[in-house]
Amino acid sequence: MADVEITIRPTGPYVVTGPIVLRDGQGNEIDVSDRGGTVKLCRCGGSTTKPFCDGTHSAIGFMAATSAVTKAE
């Protein structure tokens, strides 16, 4: 089993479990030490606390078109 696991929620965030380093677009580390080893990353675009999920996906009725694309076309 991998040290880091990423689970795609069908109507919500990417749930990342395990020891990670999260960086912003400038390469600055974002502290995730207070998140208990699990980070939920927004993929609906609606969160006001990006890159983290704040639950807005439920309010806006986010539904992913597909759970995962396994091969680029």
User: Does a cis peptide bond (omega within 30 degrees of 0) precede residue 51?
Assistant: yes
Fill in the amino acid letter for 51: P
16 binds ligand FES (CB under 6 A): no
Pick the binder of ligand FES from 20, 51, 56, 64 (CB under 6 A). Answer: 56
Which span sits near ligand FES by CB under 6 A: 16-24, 25-33, 45-53, 64-72?
45-53
- Which of 37/63 has CB closer to ligand FES? 63
Calculate the alpha carbon distances from 71 to 1, 55, 56, 68 in Å: 23, 29, 29, 9
From the list 15, 20, 32, 46, which residue makes contact with ligand FES (rule: CB under 6 A)?
46
